[in-house]
């Protein structure tokens, strides 16, 4: 288990689900991970938080007016100065979907597509810093960018957020770098140019830690979700790719035994 009080710039600080089935999603994730779905906030347009062990772990939102939800998980990256980060992102070709705006006394956010087209949020915290627990059942444990343009993606995140890139492998068959804050890995960038379908955009994938990946995968199916791949063993644990009943894709990971 890892607990954190502060989130450094460039690390993922928050996650939320944009779902076409609010009540179904609130029930599905509560049943799957043992979360509690807090009541939606009228002040913030029906946005709600999921809590794990009494602490916020992720957020959720339904359709936004005439804009239907796309059933995806979105990451938010911490920023020290969000205006500086947005300007740097735009200079590298990012498209801003939601401009910089303060969210009550919680923080300041913006939503954009990075230089490769992957949607992400930026978050400058005020009173709310994001989730605090990682690498425990029902908590996030990894974040991975499936990039159509791998080199542009690495350059974007190192340039905008001041991260370092650690190249894990660089061959025509497999390219992967981890993004680093000091000695700590905060996310991965995968060259998915040969994996993404025609018209499929770069996108972020969220990994959730579970105690038993086989049991969790079976539970996904029992709750009306779908199993896309796995579970399969890897050097980083047993991993499965699944989707909730509305089609939002995510991964489950059981840490390797010591």
Domain of 229: which CATH number?
3.10.180.10
Contact 152, 202 (CB under 8 A): no
On whether both 9 and 34 belong to a single domain, the answer is yes
Domain that includes residue 173, residue range = 134-254
Question: pLDDT by residue for the chain (258 residues), tens digit each?
Answer: 477 778 999 999 999 999 999 999 999 999 999 999 999 998 888 999 999 999 999 999 999 888 899 999 999 999 999 999 999 999 999 999 999 999 999 999 999 999 999 999 999 999 999 999 898 999 999 999 999 999 999 999 999 999 999 999 888 889 999 999 999 999 999 999 988 888 889 999 999 999 999 999 999 999 999 999 989 998 889 999 999 999 999 999 999 876
Contact 227, 242 (CB under 8 A): yes
In whole angstroms, give the CA distance from residue 111 to residue 79: 12
On whether both 87 and 18 belong to a single domain, the answer is yes
Q: If you search the block for the tokens 């450094």, which residue do you land on? A: 8
On whether both 145 and 195 belong to a single domain, the answer is yes
On whether both 117 and 149 belong to a single domain, the answer is no
Q: Which two three-digit tokens encode residue 35?
A: 């979360």
In whole angstroms, give the CA distance from residue 47 to residue 23: 12
Contact 106, 121 (CB under 8 A): no
């Amino acid at each position: 288990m890892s607990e954190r009080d502060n989130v450094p710039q460039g690390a993922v600080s928050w996650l939320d689900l944009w779902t076409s089935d609010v009540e179904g999603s609130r029930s599905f994730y509560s049943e799957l991970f043992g979360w509690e779905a807090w009541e939606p906030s009228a002040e913030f347009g029906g946005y709600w938080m999921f809590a794990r062990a009494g602490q916020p772990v992720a957020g959720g939102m339904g359709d936004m007016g005439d804009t239907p939800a796309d059933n995806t998980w979105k990451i938010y990256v911490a920023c020290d100065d969000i205006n500086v980060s947005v300007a740097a992102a735009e200079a590298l070709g990012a498209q801003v979907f939601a401009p910089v705006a303060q969210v009550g006394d919680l923080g300041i956010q913006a939503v954009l597509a990075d230089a490769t087209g992957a949607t992400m949020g930026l978050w400058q915290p005020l009173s709310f810093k994001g989730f605090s627990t990682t690498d425990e059942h029902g908590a996030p444990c990894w974040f991975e960018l499936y990039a159509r343009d791998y080199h542009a993606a690495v350059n974007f995140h190192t340039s905008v957020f001041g991260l370092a890139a650690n190249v894990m492998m660089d061959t025509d068959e497999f390219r992967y770098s981890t993004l680093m804050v000091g000695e700590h890995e905060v996310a991965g960038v995968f060259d998915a140019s040969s994996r993404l379908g025609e018209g499929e955009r770069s996108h972020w994938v969220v990994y959730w830690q579970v105690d038993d990946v086989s049991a969790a995968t079976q539970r996904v199916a029992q709750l009306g979700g779908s199993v896309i791949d796995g579970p399969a063993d890897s050097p980083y644990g047993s991993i499965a790719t699944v989707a909730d009943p509305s089609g939002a894709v995510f991964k489950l990971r059981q840490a390797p035994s010591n």
